[in-house]
Structure formats: structure tokens, C-alpha cells
């Protein structure tokens, strides 16, 4: 029996014994007072008191013994059902409530075990499928990129043909990015990817994400600034968190006009470290703020921009898998701010 429950039962027994003593002694005292302390009544009362205490004590001891026995049996039943030790049941096949409970518990554990086995088998199938897709598409895409590069180096190509070759290279890169994003998404959803969150400096994840979009931002004349103390830390996986931040930054660069700016700041709070990514882009309608993190969702205002609506979904999955969350605020025509909250403990 649990020590806390045992102490609780002991207190109950003491309270019961005290109340029983008060009632019996009080009743006996009243009888003696009414009988004017008659010796015969005195002896009868004494015998009555002794019998009451004996019966009461025996009843309390029996109750405690029975309750302790039931709890120990339940403990054995649960241990046996969880570990699956042998085929014999603790209570046998008796027509008792505990035996019925044991039967239901065993059935529940068997169903849960079967379900877990099916989920694990399904996960392994998906893992194999993802590996096959990754392997089967990698070589053809690499060949397309290689052949397009070789074609681009031919001096006899006219400008029109060279433009087509550049389009092939560009579309091949986009197709490769899409396939890799779908693979990452599937791995995250099925738990194949293991994210190891540890206390790490936030600035390193931010700079790693920024380095991946800096060239495109500079090409579009978009200024990126960072305000983050190097001492600020959070519990996160640096590789995958930088991937999530990159997806947000990529959208910020994509949807900001030339001459715009992106500001990244970090602030340590009591439980979370907050990373804000603010841009001067096209903004998001308020009615769409709850939908932008859905898989394949694209805002109405982004129809003329390239994309498939995976980046923010991946970012949310990565951050939430580490115990954090993402929020977004926006004003149409003025820009958006994505706030990433990472656990500090």
C-alpha cells in the first residue's frame, strides 16, 4: 500500500476509535448517572464497555486487513498485467469484482500493445517509403541539374536556348527543395526524426538561419538586422530550430519589396525565450492568421508568388516538438511579426 494512503487510513482509524470511545463512555456515564451509580449497573456497564471496545477493535482490524489485502491484490494484478508474466492470472477466474477488473485490464493492455505494434509497423513502412522516394528522386534530379549545367557551358547555344536551360536548372532546384521539404514533413509527423533539445545560445541558431537567406536578401536590397544578446539561451535543437527560423525568414524575404528591412530580436523571459522576426512585407489578413500554419495553406495575397505552403507548417512542427509555439501578428501593407517561443528550462 502507498505510504500516503496508509497514513490516511491510520488517521481514519484513530478518528473512528476516538468517536467510538466518546460515544460509549458518554452513554455509559449517562446510564450510571440515571441509575444513581448502582453497583450492578456499574458492572454491566464495565462489561459493556469492554465488549464494545473488543468488537470495535476487531472490526477496525478486520476492515484494515481487508482493505490492505484488496490493494495488494490490485497492485499484483496491475504488475502482472503490465509485465505479462506467464499465462496464469492473479485472481484466477473467480466471479469477483477484482477478477473482472483484472480481465478488463489485461484486455486493455493487449489492445494497447497490438495498437502500438501496428503503429510501429506503419511507421517503419513510411520510413522505408520515404527512404525509397529520397533515393529514387535524388539521382534523376542530380542528372537533370548536371546536364543543364553542361548545356549551359556550350558556347554555340543562342540566348533563347540558354534561357530555357536556366529555367530547367531553376525548376530542378525548386523540385528538389519541394521533395526534401515533403520528406522532412513526413519524418516529423511520423516521429522518424529525433529532435534533441538542449540548452544552447539562441544567437547561433539565428545567425545560421540568417546566413541561408542573406544572399537573396542582399540581391533584393533588403536589410537584415539582429538584436540578440549572446548570453540569451533556450532549450532547443540548434539544427532544426535554425531550419524553422530559416523558413520564416525566407517568407519575410520573399514577400518584402526591394528596399525593405527585416529585424530579428530575442528576449529572455521567465519560462520562454522569445524570438521576434519582423518584416516590412505585404502583410497577412487577420482572418488568415489562424490558417497560415496549416499544411499547404497559402494566403490569397500570395497567389502571384512562388511557393506551396509548407515552410510555416514545418516551422510550427519543429518548434512545437520542442515544447514551444509560434504566434503571428500582421498589418496588411505594413508587414508581419512572427514570435517564436522556446522553453528556457
The CATH number for 288's domain is 3.30.565.10
Q: Could you tell me if 173 and 216 lie in one domain? A: no
Q: Which residues contact 137 (CB under 8 A, 6 or more apart)?
A: 176, 179
Q: Can you list the alpha helix ranges (DSSP code H) found in 159-271?
A: 159-190, 202-219, 238-254
Q: Could you tell me if 322 and 233 lie in one domain? A: yes
Q: Could you tell me if 235 and 319 lie in one domain? A: yes
Q: Could you tell me if 20 and 74 lie in one domain? A: yes
Q: Could you tell me if 235 and 339 lie in one domain? A: yes
pLDDT band at 191 (very low <50, low <70, confident <90, very high): low
74 within 8 A of 105, measured Cβ to Cβ: no
- Grid coordinates given for 65: 486487513
Q: How many domains does the chain have?
A: 3
What whole-number distance in Å separates Cα of residue 179 and Cα of residue 249? 20
What whole-number distance in Å separates Cα of residue 139 and Cα of residue 160? 28
- Average model confidence (pLDDT) for the chain? 82
Q: Could you tell me if 337 and 217 lie in one domain? A: yes
Q: Could you tell me if 173 and 250 lie in one domain? A: no
Q: How many CB atoms lie within 10 A of CB 50?
A: 10
pLDDT in tens, 225-236: 999 999 999 999
pLDDT in tens, 282-329: 999 999 998 999 888 888 888 788 777 888 988 998 999 899 999 999
Q: Which residues contact 135 (CB under 8 A, 6 or more apart)?
A: none
Cα–chain center distance at 312: 18
The verdict on residue 107 lying in a domain is: no
The verdict on residue 326 lying in a domain is: yes
pTM given for the model: 0.59
Q: Could you tell me if 251 and 302 lie in one domain? A: yes
Which structural domain range is residue 11 located in? 3-90
pLDDT in tens, 235-247: 999 999 999 999 9
pLDDT in tens, 47-58: 777 777 787 778
Give the pLDDT confidence score for residue 1 in this predicted structure.
Answer: 46
The verdict on residue 111 lying in a domain is: no
Of the two residues 159 and 8, the one the predictor is more confident about is 159
Q: Could you tell me if 54 and 79 lie in one domain? A: yes
Q: Which residues contact 167 (CB under 8 A, 6 or more apart)?
A: none
R_g of the chain, CA atoms, integer Å: 36
Amino acid at each position: 500500500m502507498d505510504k500516503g494512503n496508509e497514513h490516511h487510513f491510520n488517521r481514519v482509524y484513530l478518528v473512528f476509535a476516538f468517536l467510538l470511545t466518546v460515544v460509549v463512555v458518554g452513554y455509559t456515564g449517562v446510564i450510571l448517572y440515571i441509575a444513581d451509580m448502582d453497583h450492578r449497573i456499574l458492572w454491566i456497564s464495565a462489561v459493556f464497555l469492554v465488549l464494545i471496545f473488543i468488537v470495535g477493535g476487531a472490526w477496525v482490524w478486520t476492515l484494515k486487513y481487508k482493505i490492505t489485502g484488496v490493494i495488494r491484490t490490485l497492485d499484483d494484478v496491475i504488475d502482472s498485467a503490465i509485465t505479462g508474466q506467464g499465462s496464469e492470472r492473479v485472481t484466477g477466474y473467480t466471479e469477483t469484482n477484482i477478477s473482472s477488473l483484472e480481465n478488463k485490464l489485461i484486455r486493455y493492455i493487449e489492445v494497447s500493445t497490438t495498437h502500438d505494434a501496428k503503429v510501429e509497423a506503419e511507421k517503419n513502412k513510411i520510413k522505408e517509403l520515404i527512404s525509397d522516394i529520397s533515393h529514387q528522386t535524388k539521382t534523376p534530379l542530380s542528372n537533370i541539374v548536371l546536364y543543364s549545367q553542361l548545356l549551359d557551358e556550350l558556347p554555340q547555344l543562342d540566348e533563347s536556348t540558354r534561357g530555357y536551360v536556366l529555367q530547367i536548372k531553376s525548376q530542378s532546384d525548386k523540385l528538389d527543395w519541394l521533395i526534401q521539404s515533403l520528406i522532412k514533413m513526413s519524418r516529423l509527423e511520423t516521429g522518424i526524426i529525433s529532435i534533441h533539445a538542449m540548452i544552447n545560445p539562441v544567437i547561433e541558431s539565428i545567425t545560421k538561419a540568417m546566413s541561408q537567406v542573406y544572399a537573396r536578401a542582399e540581391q533584393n536590397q533588403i536589410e537584415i538586422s539582429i538584436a540578440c544578446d549572446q548570453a540569451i539561451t533556450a532549450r532547443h535543437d540548434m539544427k532544426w530550430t535554425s531550419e524553422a527560423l530559416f523558413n520564416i525568414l525566407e517568407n519575410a524575404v520573399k514577400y518584402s519589396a526591394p528596399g525593405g528591412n527585416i529585424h530579428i530580436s530575442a528576449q529572455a523571459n521567465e519560462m520562454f525565450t522569445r524570438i521576434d522576426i519582423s518584416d516590412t512585407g505585404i502583410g497577412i489578413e487577420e482572418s488568415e492568421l489562424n490558417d497560415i500554419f496549416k499544411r499547404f495553406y497559402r494566403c490569397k495575397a500570395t497567389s502571384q508568388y512562388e511557393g506551396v505552403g509548407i515552410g510555416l507548417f514545418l516551422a510550427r512542427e519543429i518548434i512545437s516538438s520542442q515544447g514551444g509555439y509560434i504566434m503571428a501578428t500582421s498589418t496588411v501593407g505594413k508587414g508581419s511579426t512572427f514570435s517564436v517561443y522556446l522553453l528556457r528550462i
